[in-house]
Amino acid sequence: MNKTLHIVSGTTVTNVMKQAKLSGDFLEWKDFLHVGPTPKNFSLQQLSKIRAHFLNEYKYTSLEEALKMFSHRDNILEHHQKYKKIILWFEKDLYDQLQLLQILDWFDTHLSKSIEVTLVLTNRHFAEYSFQEFQRAILYEESITTQHLQLSQKAWSAFTDTTPLTWFKLLTESTIELLSLKKSILRLLEEYPNTINGLSRTEHQALLTISNAQHRHKQDIFIASQKHEQKPFIADVIFWKILDNFMEYKLIIEQDNHLYITDLGKDVLNGKKNWITIKKIDHWIGGVHLNNDNLWCWDIKEKTIKKYYYSTALSSLIPIRNSIKK
């Protein structure tokens, strides 16, 4: 029986670690939690079913495969007491940080006291690590304490809340136990529709890149748009979905495998038209179900989150007062 369990974000990291001859078992979390429903007060098993249905609807994988993947993952976690040590290997980007919060939130109430849990946090992608770098990284592993677990429970509760207010308020509170958390909080808030053109930051970066004549192929656009990120986190499958939406609503067109921005796309990019008025808002960020009746937007200038409604008569977003209680 292996004494160590390595928990990582996905298959790529596992493959590199095995090549580096790290001994132990591997558990891959494999979920991009910054997209799709992650509602509050569900058990890990219940939430996994919700996520499996979302991944299937997103055409990422079949429902059967998603349910099988999450069931296997959750079963290993539930039987974690068979290990003497658990090492969490995560990067500082949004994708990994949300996974880390979910895992530590679960450990807050389920962790067997006899088991040592440590964290190896990196600025780089583990896929780029050599054998020697993995060996050195182990020297800097950090012990997970009660303070880590309590903060993760608080942050995960905020992430899964029905409004983004508690998540936003974490920016003003101490999160010293998880040094990368505040940057991830801010980056997720930027995925809300902005108050200028209704695009998320990722959508804006994609449309901006397409407007640049240097980038026309989908893969080139994806790579170029990620250069706007301090810590790239988005999977290509999510990016293709954004491009599909742009094409469906005529913000961009495709000709001979090249993408071009349309006049409508330019108007949205420049704030003359609002994406919210073109495409019906109906998606989830954590526990927040964004739609026309529950419209939260990121104010780029004031760096705050506010609730809005769209006035057809005025053709503008109207903030609902007292969205944030001080």
Residue 223 lies in a domain: yes
Q: What is the pLDDT of residue 19?
A: 86
Residue 102 lies in a domain: yes
One domain for residues 220 and 81: no
Which range of residues forms the domain containing residue 253?
192-319
Residue 158 lies in a domain: yes
Residue 55 lies in a domain: yes
Predicted TM-score (pTM) of the model is 0.94
Query: Which is it for strands 304-311 and 295-299: parallel, antiparallel or unpaired?
Result: antiparallel
**Over residues 107-114, mean pLDDT:** 93
Q: What is the pLDDT of residue 325?
A: 46
One domain for residues 292 and 164: no
Residue 326 lies in a domain: no
Mean pLDDT value across the chain:
92
The pLDDT confidence band at residue 127, using thresholds 50, 70 and 90, is confident
Q: What is the pLDDT of residue 307?
A: 93
pLDDT of 44-99, one tens digit each? 999 999 999 999 998 889 999 999 999 999 999 999 999 999 999 999 999 999 99
One domain for residues 133 and 233: no
Evaluate if residue 292 carries a pLDDT over 90.
no
Evaluate if residue 323 carries a pLDDT over 60.
no
Residue percentage of the chain with pLDDT more than 70: 96
Residue 24: both structure tokens together:
């132990």
Q: What is the pLDDT of residue 45?
A: 96
Residue percentage of the chain with pLDDT more than 90: 78
CB proximity list for 251: less than 8 A, separation 6 or greater = 207, 261, 262, 264, 265, 268, 278
Cα 322 to Cα 165, 276, 278, 310, distances in angstroms = 11, 22, 27, 17
One domain for residues 124 and 222: no
One domain for residues 169 and 201: no
Residue 116 lies in a domain: yes
For tokens 């996520």, what's the residue?
51
Residues 252 and 287: their CA atoms lie apart, in Å, by 30
Q: What is the pLDDT of residue 135?
A: 82
pLDDT of 214-225, one tens digit each? 778 999 999 999
